[in-house]
Chain A
Amino acid sequence: MSAETLTEKSVASDLWDGVRLSMPVVVAAAPFGLLFGAIAVDNGFSVFEASLMSALIFGGASQMVGIELFGQHVAPWLIVLSIFAVNFRHVLYSAGIGRRIAHWPVIQQALGYFVLTDPQFAVAERKAEAGETVGFAWYMGLGLPVYVLWVIESALGAVFGKLIPDTHALGIDFLLPIYFLGLVMGFRKRPLWLPVVIASAAASIIAYKTVGSPWHVSIGAVAGVLLAVILPPHHSGVEANR
């Protein structure tokens, strides 16, 4: 077997590894894609506009907020600012994942950052934590199915939205918190995990009650990250790894 077929094989298997890991994300995101499309049309978007928003923004929570404000006839600049605020947490993901994908060509990196969602970041971080290289084929295998289905579901939701039955009885509004809890639990072996979780939970709850949504996400996140920065390095395990 030549070296070339070997590499091709490993690229293909990397891709499929990523696709396999994308399946829970696809399942968890599906109701929200449909729901987004339905709500978008309800708030005055066309099917094309709903699909376009999913294709270009690819961030469920921010799209919901944007649609909600659009329906309330809020000023356009305020809608854009709100989308930015909801997505601001990605700045932290971006800073964290940069270390893992710095070896990719620039164009591939630019694409990689485009699909950097919550689960994309969490699953890629886990792979890096296990000491494995985060390759482009694997990363896109993880991200592309989620992206493609997100756009398709949004379009379907926009066309058939009114047919969705009782979403509350189906638990759809609370599926994402359950999924995110699973991602949080996946990092429990990391140094400082519990203190960080407690700090972020407390700060986000206080911010939610005082400043309000969506800023509680950024405020809570910064509280947890700051705690890890402030605590002496022997707690954070960073120097021990060198």
Chain B
Amino acid sequence: MSTTFWIIIAGAIATYLTRVGGHLVISRFDHIHPRVEAGLNAVPAAVLTTLVAPAALGAGPAEWAALVVAAVVSLRGGLMAMFLAGAVVLILARQFVG
């Protein structure tokens, strides 16, 4: 088998370990401390923010406009509505500011 194949297999094992690992560690404890629980509840906002913030900072006016419009729409509409609104603003704005 080629090196590429083994890179893929090893990458897949490493990835699965990250997906099952947190659970395996946490499940060793029968009681979850309230502070740990508070930390776990913060996971979605904490992780997903890191996928947005640096990208937003390094972007330009077109991307910022898209994010602002998407954020405003998300206060009222669903995920699909906010996503489409953001995408439309992004594509339109890029025709002008590139």
Contact = CB atoms under 8 A, between A and B. Distances in A.
A76 B6 contact: yes
A19 interface: no
A57 B86 CA distance: 29
B54 A223 contact: no
Contacts of B51: 118, 176-177, 180, 217
B42 A224 contact: yes
Contacts of A64: none
Interface string B45-64: 11111111111110100010
A168 B60 CA distance: 13
A39 B11 CA distance: 18
Interface string B77-98: 0011011001100110011000
Contacts of A23: 80
A87 B18 contact: yes
Contacts of A93: 19, 22, 43, 47
A220 B52 CA distance: 11
A168 B91 CA distance: 9
Contacts of A46: 4
Interface residues of B, number: 67
A238 B70 contact: no
Contacts of B31: none
A16 interface: no
Given A49-B4, A118-B51, A178 B66 contact: yes
Tell which of A88, A91, A99 has the most Cβ of chain B within 10 Å: A91
Nearest to A24: B80
Interface in A131-178: 168-171, 174-178
Interface string A55-91: 0111100100010001000001001110110011111
Contact of B71 (A58, A185, A224): A185
A184 interface: yes
A116 interface: yes
Contact of A216 (B5, B27, B54): B54
Interface in B1-36: 3-12, 14-27, 32, 34-36
Interface in A82-140: 83-84, 87-99, 102, 109-110, 113-114, 116, 118, 121-122, 125
A217 B49 CA distance: 9
Contacts of A213: 54
A88 to B, nearest CB: 6
Contacts of A192: 38, 41-42
> Which of B23, B27, B34: most chain A Cβ within 10 A?
B23
Given A83-B14, A102-B27, A184 B34 contact: no
Interface of A: 23-24, 27-28, 44-46, 49, 52-53, 56-59, 62, 66, 70, 76, 79-81, 83-84, 87-99, 102, 109-110, 113-114, 116, 118, 121-122, 125, 168-171, 174-187, 190-193, 196-197, 199-205, 208, 213, 216-217, 219-231, 233, 236-239
